[in-house]
Structure 1
């Protein structure tokens, strides 16, 4: 039976996602009420530009006073969709103080201040939900927080940024350069006017911090995540990966050390074998591969961005928060009991693909092989081509610490017979 007094919802932000949330709350009002057990009512929508035409939004709900909206005292749930650190942080804390639960998609704020937000929610017996902060519409965080709560997650490996995946997919499928693929992504609306957050890996790093924290019950901040972007990836790198039966992806990788005593979180481009499920993720789609002790390997796939898909995740959290309001309880809070240390990138065990421009003369390969041996790095495969006194030497290593592999590359740069290190890339997913 549905009660008649509605639960009141404040919406902060009415952009690409917020406008779709407002629309779906109106068009699906009956279904939402039936699923929650009470009607939900948009009590106000805070925006920066009140004069902008918004077909999905009743004009009488629009306000520029976000602080006043969240502090009204009769708001049950605040949907924070403005992004950034401030004023989002202040508004969320005010919402908790005035008795509201919060649903947010703000990955940057969660990666930076997640523990403080959890603490504020707990202090005021409120919910903090954020499914939409990672991988858009894909149900991922709730399965990690709840469905796998009785299991031990060892690794999370994923494509969590649609812009970079679109760019790398175009480079592979059409042979385009990085610049050409970025221009296409911009023209189609996949890339922002300033794409730095995406192409330099900041967006994916924030998501990796959130994933690692949930998966390993350990506080992982943005500063704990090793980050590299895709701006240095060339068409030659993509072609070289293809020759190896691999494809290049920007990956977020969160994993336990083999002894289980520490964790790592990193974002960087990597070659993965074509047979790996993530290799087939095309266009702007996201996918996350989870490896758990009992459940085994699980894959979550779908649209990782966009107004309607992300609104779906927001509304799922809204339903959960409203149900908790009716029941007088709260959902899961922070789980950081494990307190595992986060190891630096140098301790990660991985493989390298190294492309060298070398002199085409006898003894060069042996000289390079000696450098690998000196650093304790074993060579898996070698491919060499030469012409007119110049040669290209491509080496793929066995697994070694990232520090040892990096030191090997630096030593190779100092050889007189090595004219340049054309590229280095990690090899993952095996």
Structure 2
């Protein structure tokens, strides 16, 4: 028999995720009560319009536009509104009233996470956010709890399903980025304005959260280096395929040693990169997400599954809710966010990586020596060089003949990002180079 009083749950937001959370709370009330040790009563759902049509059939009396009354009468507040305001104000109000909070709001946490965690710590409340990173995939709690006694050294993550779907279509079907994006939009994977996805902003927010968790250091969103997929071409995809690689948008968080100071720091970055087809991340298809964790004692771990979707994300939200509700029953303060390490955030130039560079060059004597000198000047060693000749052709109707050119595909050994970027800049200015056709980093080696 349940002896603890019923716990009051307020839901802020009745969209695709919120509606599924509400449905599951109502349908599985008895089962959840058995897991928690107390009944979970959904006391209200904050919406803009109580009369709007819903995708899920829910009791109309649950809907309200009165945020203040709903929040102040709750033991646990679930925020699924998205955006910065009024979500930030509502969460702070909930925490200050003594309620625990569950949120899936990655943008808010990336911008104001430190403020919110400090507010929760001051009053002994708990702020859980499993659904903010990688949807249904459990990655926050493993990093925060299961690996708390280990040393995480690196995270490679595909954390945006829209871009993974697009790049997968380009690789599997030969689509252009525009064609793949149109398909993603039609299937509901991409928003009407896909900028947050294809620009890498969504992945950068998640990288900030993952790095903060993994390295016990507050990593601001502004410190995350970001490149999206808007410049990825079918030619790059095909070149990667021929070399045995696939292109993925990766969120990368890792411990590094600053070459200038010798001190340990952390890096968080997002960019498209080539991943060898033998790597587990290369097998992540469609709109799925995966996070590959490298820990000192545990070794390599991979978390894979649906990165989005109403019912899938609702699963992560309810997991957080059950965890918080159990704490109410058992008692004790919430767990504060761990930021004790306070490691410095290193610039992108300190990162060590590899480049795959494609050049169109003049087919002339001494060309290869000239190109090799540029790499040598920056102390970047070459792993492979592949050359193909593009035959010239005679002029038409009195026009000058088109001279033959060569395409060089150059793979480098590991070097700092600063040295590799400087190398590419000098290649672009070299007289033997007609154009730098493609530059992609190589990760997961």
Q: Which residue of 1 aligns with 2:59?
A: 58
Distance in 2 separating the partners of 1:428 and 1:4: 51
Change (3 A) 1:17 1:260: farther
Distance in 1 separating the partners of 2:118 and 2:328: 19
Distance in 2 separating the partners of 1:61 and 1:365: 72
Stretches of structure 2 that go unaligned for 5 or more consecutive residues are 393-403
Superposition deviation, residue 426 in structure 1: 0.2
Q: Which residue of 2 aligns with 1:428?
A: 443
Superposition deviation, residue 4 in structure 1: 6.2
Q: Which residue of 2 aligns with 1:217?
A: 216
Does structure 1 conserve the Cα–Cα contact (< 8 Å) formed by 2:4 and 2:329? no
Q: Which residue of 2 aligns with 1:37?
A: 37
Superposition deviation, residue 332 in structure 1: 2.4
- Tell me the secondary structure at the aligned position of residue 170 of structure 2: helix
Distance in 2 separating the partners of 1:354 and 1:369: 13
Distance in 2 separating the partners of 1:159 and 1:362: 44
Tell me the C-alpha RMSD between the 2 structures. 1.1
Q: Which residue of 1 aligns with 2:124?
A: 125
Distance in 2 separating the partners of 1:423 and 1:396: 12
Does structure 2 conserve the Cα–Cα contact (< 8 Å) formed by 1:219 and 1:336? yes
Stretches of structure 1 that go unaligned for 5 or more consecutive residues are none
What is the CA deviation profile of residues 230-282 of structure 1, one whole-angstrom value per residue up to 9, with x for unaligned ones? 01000100011111111000000000015771110000000011110000000
Q: Which residue of 1 aligns with 2:235?
A: 236
Q: Which residue of 2 aligns with 1:173?
A: 172
Give the TM-score normalised by the residue count of structure 1. Answer: 0.98
Return the index of the structure with the highest Cα Rg: 2
Q: Which residue of 1 aligns with 2:225?
A: 226
Residues 71-220 of structure 1: matches in 2 within 5 Å? 72=72, 74-220=73-219
Q: Which residue of 1 aligns with 2:423?
A: 408
The answer to whether residue 283 in structure 2 is matched with residue 263 in structure 1 is no
The answer to whether residue 292 in structure 2 is matched with residue 277 in structure 1 is no
Does structure 2 conserve the Cα–Cα contact (< 8 Å) formed by 1:22 and 1:56? no
Distance in 1 separating the partners of 2:372 and 2:46: 62
Distance in 2 separating the partners of 1:133 and 1:10: 18
Distance in 2 separating the partners of 1:340 and 1:89: 27
Q: Which residue of 1 aligns with 2:381?
A: 378
Distance in 2 separating the partners of 1:50 and 1:237: 49
Which of 342, 366, 371 aligns to 2:369? It is 366
User: Runs (4+) of structure 1 moved beyond 6 Å?
Assistant: none
Superposition deviation, residue 123 in structure 1: 1.3
Distance in 1 separating the partners of 2:328 and 2:151: 30
Residues 305-316 of structure 1: matches in 2 within 5 Å? 305-316=308-319
- Tell me the secondary structure at the aligned position of residue 175 of structure 1: coil
Distance in 1 separating the partners of 2:333 and 2:327: 5
- Tell me the secondary structure at the aligned position of residue 9 of structure 1: strand
- Tell me the secondary structure at the aligned position of residue 135 of structure 2: coil
Superposition deviation, residue 48 in structure 1: 1.4
Superposition deviation, residue 167 in structure 1: 0.2
Q: Which residue of 1 aligns with 2:399?
A: none
- Tell me the secondary structure at the aligned position of residue 264 of structure 2: coil
Does structure 2 conserve the Cα–Cα contact (< 8 Å) formed by 1:3 and 1:39? no
- Tell me the secondary structure at the aligned position of residue 407 of structure 2: strand
Does structure 2 conserve the Cα–Cα contact (< 8 Å) formed by 1:379 and 1:396? yes
The answer to whether residue 300 in structure 2 is matched with residue 297 in structure 1 is yes
- Tell me the secondary structure at the aligned position of residue 218 of structure 1: coil
Give the TM-score normalised by the residue count of structure 2. Answer: 0.95
- Tell me the secondary structure at the aligned position of residue 257 of structure 1: strand
Distance in 2 separating the partners of 1:136 and 1:68: 29
Distance in 1 separating the partners of 2:333 and 2:370: 63
Which of 388, 399, 415 aligns to 2:414? It is 399
Does structure 1 conserve the Cα–Cα contact (< 8 Å) formed by 2:121 and 2:334? no
